Amino acid sequence: MLKKIPICVALLIGFALMAKAGSMLEQYQSVVQKLIDAALADPNSTARLEYLCDRIGNRLSGSASLERAVEWSAREMRNAGLENVQTPPVMVPHWVRGAESAMMIAPIRKELVIIGLGMSVGTPPGGISGEVIPVKDVNELAAIGREKIAGKIVLFTPQAKSPTVEAGPSIAGSLGALAVLIHTPHTRGISYDEDKLKIPAAAVSAEDALMMKRLVAAGTPVRVHLIMDDHQGPDVESHNVIGELRGSEKPQEIVVVGGHMDTWDIGQGAQDDGSGTMAALEAVLLIKKLGLHPRRTIRVLFFVNEENGGAGERAYGAMIGDALKNHVATIVDDRGAEKPTGFGFGARDQDKQTPRAFETATEIGKLLDTIGAGKMTAGGGGGHIASVTNHGVLGFGINTVNVYYEQTNHTNADSFDKIASQDFQLHVAALAVLSYVLADMPKRLSELK
Amino acid sequence: MKTLIVALLVLAPAESQTISEQYTETAQKLIAAALGDTEGLARLQYLCDRIGNRLSGSASLERAIVWSAAQMRQAGLSNVQTPPVRVPHWVREKESAIMIEPLEKPLNMIGLGMSVGTPAVGITGEVLPVENPGLLAALGREKVAGKIVLFTAANDATTYRTPGYRQAVTVGPSRAGALGAIAVLVRSGYALQNPRTTGLDASTDNMVVKPYADGVPKIPAAAVSVEDALMMQRLVESGTPVRVHLTMQAHQGPDADSHNVMGEIVGRERPQEVVVLGGHLDSWDVGQGANDDGSGIMAALQAVLVIKKLGLQPRRTIRVCFWVNEENGFAGGRAYRTMIGDAIRDQIAAIEMDNGAEKPVGFGFGAADQDKRTPQAFARAVEIGKLLEGIGGGEITTRGGGGDIRYLVHDGVPGFAVKTVETLYSNWHHTSDDTFDKIVPREFQLNVASLAVLSYVLADMPKRLNDLK
């Protein structure tokens, strides 16, 4: 008998451990399956996204269409029965793209395909003309020096993702350049150094950039005439959009799920980030339609001005104030609507910072294994709602297969036709499962270290 | 006995030797020279970057003609000439389209070549999506009149030649106009917001192209991007009326003077017999006309120069020809046919490269049933093709010809068309993306190699291809 007690104890401990290890899966497997099945069976899952794209269109901060999108979103949330729907005000920058054109005037006349980079200053009314000097990136710019840069139009020829895009115009301006053209079909925001000269900056198509580079390499001087009527108006009032599914036990504790409502002013902002906002909304409505009542509140958040300022997420942080401590997690869908593969979680070393939380997140991810959307990786979770995630709240950012997204991101071709409804439904499923489990599991994720 | 065999071999007429025996070594030399040659690419780069696109009637086409003739002369071709051709002078000018309902959105459009313009203030109308012109009659005048017809047939998968799209840009505007439509929009090919132009072609009578059918109202026709076409289609399908405002200043000026460009390696035995090869010098007025058809003419020229540089002089004349106005009228090909007159009987073969400069796989030859019509000639062509097996460019199939050589082929000249893998060509075709950066040097050189081998052997082999039945 004495000998048997330790065995019983050991067995009990063993069962307890097994139960703990399998608890998440066991607890949530059946409800997760219901959520996934419902998401994948919804024939109208993309209807709201289609409306947003086709009937409202792109929605740059400061534009009338963004405000239409804000009003429509709040109405959709209310009509669908979300609670505490509100549109707290946010002051956003109001950058306006005027008429833009660029013409190569030597050695031959050829109209160039350009698009001003967001937040760029304009040219004087008659435009500017200058010789083009192709430069690989900002490092090469410094090496070439003021003497050769001053009075020129600098053509940066890196591929899309490069710090050159953000920092290039200020550095070129400080060396006396007239303007900057960047080899990338994508528009995106630039950030000027306030103490440096602001010069106009535009993206130019790969074809035209390569042509100018070839001509100069062949010894033929290239001159370009650039006209950009872009300008910055005074800040204007916009609004984040919030709606909730109130928690059944701890309503003050909050899981945020969402994306950004604003877009660049071209295309339809279908994948950046119409699909993220709409998938988040559909996910919460799905939980609601299934009659599920998680312990904590799930809050849908559409923040504005992600593309050119970040005012929306900052305003959200200011609005919640001390309620920050009740934020359990944030989930953001802003990587396009291709097939989801999982989530980035927290910081790059999140698995070391909070190993238990990471382990739990991984366990939740396993619930999405059947749809291949459950891989949890450290990093990429914060940033979008930095006012929250920079202060200890754990963030999740969706990841996708990312095959075609870069082709259309920030271009005129980011439109609804690129959305595969099956992939979109998988986003809805993944967001629904992650937000539901985070909101319902007995322990707060942030308590696990 | 041994000496007798040797003697017989020496005395045997050349014809008893196979193509492979006669030409393998020369073909190897031509291929090696073509693959090591960068002059052709440099010329193509100049044509694209320094001259640019070259629509019939434009100053840049005339610059291209002067430059091409100078290049041929400098490279030492004989009988370089630029015979005159009258070409249509269609001018695009300013054009734009904006969706004004249910919301304002500028559309990515490009007028179709030879289209009429709109009145100066533009036209406004409700959009009626119709898959293809074949479905217009069933809708009837009542539903079509006053509308802007949007032809929605998809054609972006692998090729721009799907039947629905072809109908839309050929008979589409005329049929819609006959039912009272005020304009036509056509869904483009490849996506990513780049609309594709092409020439209207309602009918071809006596081998003269008519953009619009006789006796119907001529209405403006433009291509819109895939994205914008799909958007309008979605809106209408979901019950939301779409209205578009279209402004096109396109107009037709009086015909203009232009020129074909020709140069030769004169044959050593039968100079009057000619193998002609080339493509078209004109292009649409967008992009650089790099693949269509800068690459074709520059590869043809280089093929001839590779033959010349190796010191080869075939029995017959090889003539390189850059025809004009292939895109909107075929006036260059017609003028060439008129110019040669009775000498048509001495045109041994016509080779056209006009499908882009991707990796060549072989040549189309003659009619759809050429292998049955002239089995011996077809077998001979297949033998020549085998010389190109080393570079994978020698598969001979039926269906040769091309826009520029159609008048020669029509009158019995054996026609060859370069065939390529054609994987990406239709993405760029007739868009602003048809630029020099799409040319892969190695693939261009392979085209030069296969054109050099085919034209040299056709010009040199003892029997004329058209004597083989």
Structure-block tokens of residue B45: 């780069």
Q: Which of A201, A229, A257 is the C-terminal boundary of a domain?
A: A229
Average pLDDT over residues B185-209: 74
Q: Is the ipTM of this complex over 0.85?
A: no
Average pLDDT over residues A117-129: 92
Q: Which of A55, A99, A409, A416 is nearest to A263 (CA)?
A: A409
Average pLDDT over residues A313-329: 95
Locus of tokens 């020439």: B199
User: Residue B50 and residue A107: Cβ atoms within 8 Å?
Assistant: yes
Please enumerate in sequence order all residues whose Cβ is within 8 A of that of A348, keeping only pairs 6 or more positions apart, or say none.
A378, A379
Average pLDDT over residues B113-120: 94
Answer yes or no: do A307 and A437 share one domain: yes
Does position A345 have pLDDT exceeding 90, yes or no? yes
Q: A51 to chain B: nearest residue by CA?
A: B235
Q: Predicted confidence band at A217 (pLDDT cuts at 50, 70, 90)?
A: very high
Average pLDDT over residues B129-142: 93
Please enumerate in sequence order all residues whose Cβ is within 8 A of that of B394, keeping only pairs 6 or more positions apart, or say none.
B362, B384, B385, B386, B387, B388, B450
Answer yes or no: do A119 and A264 share one domain: no
User: How confident is the model at residue B10, as a pLDDT?
Assistant: 44
User: How confident is the model at residue B214, as a pLDDT?
Assistant: 83
Task: Please report whether residue A3 resides in a domain.
Answer: no
Does position B9 have pLDDT exceeding 50, yes or no? no
Task: Please report whether residue A11 resides in a domain.
Answer: no
Locus of tokens 């535009």: A202
CATH of the domain at A117: 3.50.30.30
Does position A107 have pLDDT exceeding 50, yes or no? yes
Q: Predicted confidence band at A15 (pLDDT cuts at 50, 70, 90)?
A: very low
User: Residue A413 and residue B234: Cβ atoms within 8 Å?
Assistant: no
Q: Predicted confidence band at B160 (pLDDT cuts at 50, 70, 90)?
A: low
Q: Which residues 95-124 of A have a C-beta within 8 angstroms of B?
A: 107-108, 110, 113
Domains and CATH numbers, chain B: 16-89+256-467 (3.40.630.10), 94-249 (3.50.30.30)
Task: Please report whether residue A17 resides in a domain.
Answer: no
| Chain centre to alpha carbon of residue A393 | 18
User: Residue B437 and residue A207: Cβ atoms within 8 Å?
Assistant: yes
User: How confident is the model at residue B158, as a pLDDT?
Assistant: 56
User: How confident is the model at residue B233, as a pLDDT?
Assistant: 93
Answer yes or no: do A263 and A360 share one domain: yes
Chain B neighbors of A408, CB-CB under 8 A: 192
- Mean pLDDT for all residues in chain A: 90
User: Residue A54 and residue B227: Cβ atoms within 8 Å?
Assistant: no
Model-level pTM? 0.84
Does position B205 have pLDDT exceeding 70, yes or no? no
Buried b (16+ CB within 10 A) or exposed e, B290-325: bbbbbbbbbbbbbbbbbbbeeebbbbbbbbbbbbbb
Report the percentage of chain B scoring pLDDT > 90.
Answer: 76
Chain B neighbors of A113, CB-CB under 8 A: 432
User: How confident is the model at residue B12, as a pLDDT?
Assistant: 44
Q: Predicted confidence band at A184 (pLDDT cuts at 50, 70, 90)?
A: confident
Better pLDDT: A162 or A301: A301
Answer yes or no: do A147 and A279 share one domain: no
Average pLDDT over residues B393-400: 92
Does position A251 have pLDDT exceeding 70, yes or no? yes
User: How confident is the model at residue B430, as a pLDDT?
Assistant: 87
Give the closest-approach CA distance of A418 to chain B in angstroms. 9
Q: Which of A172, A205, A229 is the C-terminal boundary of a domain?
A: A229
Phi, psi of B359 (to 5 degrees): -55, 120
Does position A161 have pLDDT exceeding 80, yes or no? no
User: Residue A413 and residue B60: Cβ atoms within 8 Å?
Assistant: no
User: How confident is the model at residue B198, as a pLDDT?
Assistant: 73
Answer yes or no: do A324 and A442 share one domain: yes
User: How confident is the model at residue B426, as a pLDDT?
Assistant: 80
User: How confident is the model at residue A187, as a pLDDT?
Assistant: 66
Task: Please report whether residue A307 resides in a domain.
Answer: yes
Residues B368-391: tens digit of each pLDDT: 898 999 999 999 999 999 999 999
Average pLDDT over residues B2-8: 48
Task: Please report whether residue A9 resides in a domain.
Answer: no
Domain holding A87, by residue range, is 28-95+235-447
Does position A182 have pLDDT exceeding 90, yes or no? no
Please enumerate in sequence order all residues whose Cβ is within 8 A of that of B58, keeping only pairs 6 or more positions apart, or say none.
B285
Structure-block tokens of residue B114: 């030879």
Answer yes or no: do A301 and A350 share one domain: yes
Average pLDDT over residues A319-337: 95
Residue B131 burial by Cβ neighbours in a 10 Å radius (0-12, 13-18, 19+) = middle
Average pLDDT over residues A346-375: 93
Q: Predicted confidence band at B306 (pLDDT cuts at 50, 70, 90)?
A: very high
Does position B302 have pLDDT exceeding 90, yes or no? yes
Residues B308-333: tens digit of each pLDDT: 999 999 999 999 999 999 999 899 99
Please enumerate in sequence order all residues whose Cβ is within 8 A of that of B9, keeping only pairs 6 or more positions apart, or say none.
none
User: How confident is the model at residue A137, as a pLDDT?
Assistant: 84
Answer yes or no: do A158 and A32 share one domain: no
- Residues of B belonging to the active site: 326
Residues A38-75: tens digit of each pLDDT: 999 998 999 999 999 999 999 999 999 999 999 999 99
Q: Cα separation of B163 and A334, whole Å?
A: 39
Give the closest-approach CA distance of B15 to chain A in angstroms. 49
Question: Would you tell me how many other CB atoms lie within 10 Å of the CB of residue A111?
Answer: 12
What is the domain count for chain A?
A: 2
B398 and B367 Cβ atoms separated by less than 8 Å:
yes
Q: Predicted confidence band at A171 (pLDDT cuts at 50, 70, 90)?
A: confident
Q: Cα separation of A30 and B193, whole Å?
A: 44
Answer yes or no: do A269 and A373 share one domain: yes
Does position A255 have pLDDT exceeding 90, yes or no? yes
User: How confident is the model at residue A186, as a pLDDT?
Assistant: 66
- Mean pLDDT for all residues in chain B: 91
Answer yes or no: do A61 and A209 share one domain: no
Q: Is B99 on the interface with A (CB under 8 A)?
A: no
Residues A261-291: tens digit of each pLDDT: 999 998 899 999 999 999 999 999 999 999 9
Q: Which residues on neighbouring strands pair with residue B253, listed in sequence order?
A: B89
User: How confident is the model at residue A159, as a pLDDT?
Assistant: 56
Q: Predicted confidence band at B392 (pLDDT cuts at 50, 70, 90)?
A: very high
Q: Is A412 on the interface with B (CB under 8 A)?
A: yes
Q: Predicted confidence band at B39 (pLDDT cuts at 50, 70, 90)?
A: very high
Answer yes or no: do A262 and A396 share one domain: yes
Q: Predicted confidence band at A14 (pLDDT cuts at 50, 70, 90)?
A: very low
